[in-house]
Amino acid sequence: MLAIIGGTGMTQLANLEITHRQVIRTPYGEPSGALTFGHIKKHNVVFLARHGYGHTIPPHEINYRANIWALASQKVKRIVAIASVGGIREDLVPGALVVPDQIIDYTYSRKFTYFEGGEKPVTHIDFTEPYSDKLRRRLLKAAKVAGSPAIDGGVYAATQGPRLETAAEINRLQRDGADMVGMTGMPEAALARELGLEYAALGVVANFAAGRDPGGRGIDWNAIDGVVTQALVNVRNVLEYVVDHDAD
């Protein structure tokens, strides 16, 4: 089954015919909310709002381990993660969709692995390619068919938040090779890999990263909501295609 994790602005999936919700208890505590099960185009899908259904959980307080564990416990094999990002690279302008292919992790103080506590042998997952290529291709194709092509590739910088970055920090991220910046991509992607799930992200560019607005403006988070809400119409179409071409 395919899972969709919704990010900022996406606390529900408008095209999901909901069948039931289920609260999952995990050894890692509470997920962001109950899992929402349903169908899109007759395919089983499960949805989880990363920030909670009332959008109350900030990026650094999300229980990523519980979220991914809960999905895996329901026989989820693939996860499509929707995430809003700030655009650093010039072509990543507000409203654009992007399917990143690499990650740099700047987060700290988050519970970021299942391999702790000394019960299991030490495991080092291969994370050379952090996203599933197959799922990335499917997202890119879906976006093309849906008429809202997504930009193929880019380095996602995961920052700690919840504050936005300084202009100098964005310059540094760019020197490091980052193309976009968000607060939730890690440890989510690594945890999915640890549990053997295919994982890919669809980035929605919500704003120019700090210091990159051509008009010299700062970042107005309220304006972001409008951009994301509009882009989510496209995201919905993309997801419909992805689900329709996914083996259950």
Q: List contacts with ligand HPA (CB under 6 A).
A: 84-86, 159, 164-165, 181-183, 206-207, 209, 219
The nearest distance, CB 219 to ligand HPA, in angstroms, is 6
The nearest distance, CB 118 to ligand HPA, in angstroms, is 34
Q: By C-beta, is 84 or 234 nearer to ligand HPA?
A: 84
The nearest distance, CB 161 to ligand HPA, in angstroms, is 6
Q: By C-beta, is 10 or 181 nearer to ligand HPA?
A: 181
Q: By C-beta, is 1 or 164 nearer to ligand HPA?
A: 164
Inter-residue contact 52 to 30 (CB < 8 Å): no
| Residue owning tokens 């069948």 | 19
**Which residue's CB comes closest to ligand HPA?**
86
The nearest distance, CB 11 to ligand HPA, in angstroms, is 16
The one-letter amino acid code at 53 reads Y
Inter-residue contact 52 to 32 (CB < 8 Å): yes
Q: By C-beta, is 86 or 130 nearer to ligand HPA?
A: 86
* Residue in 248, 156, 161 with CA at minimum distance from that of residue 202: 156
Q: By C-beta, is 182 or 197 nearer to ligand HPA?
A: 182
The nearest distance, CB 68 to ligand HPA, in angstroms, is 20
The nearest distance, CB 181 to ligand HPA, in angstroms, is 4
Query: Phi then psi for 121, rounded to 5 degrees?
Result: -65, 150
The Cα–Cα gap between 227 and 54 comes to 19
Residue 44 has a CB neighbour count (10 Å cut-off) of: 17
Q: By C-beta, is 19 or 166 nearer to ligand HPA?
A: 166
The one-letter amino acid code at 88 reads I
- Characterize the bridge pairing of strands 2-6 and 78-87: parallel
Residue ranges of the alpha helices (H) in the chain? 64-73, 133-145, 167-176, 185-194, 221-244
The nearest distance, CB 106 to ligand HPA, in angstroms, is 10
Q: By C-beta, is 76 or 83 nearer to ligand HPA?
A: 83
Q: Measuring CA to CA, how many Å separate 18 from each of 3, 13, 81? A: 14, 9, 19
Contacting residues for 88 by C-beta, under 8 A, at least 6 apart: 157, 170, 173, 174, 178, 179, 180, 181, 209, 212
Inter-residue contact 185 to 83 (CB < 8 Å): yes
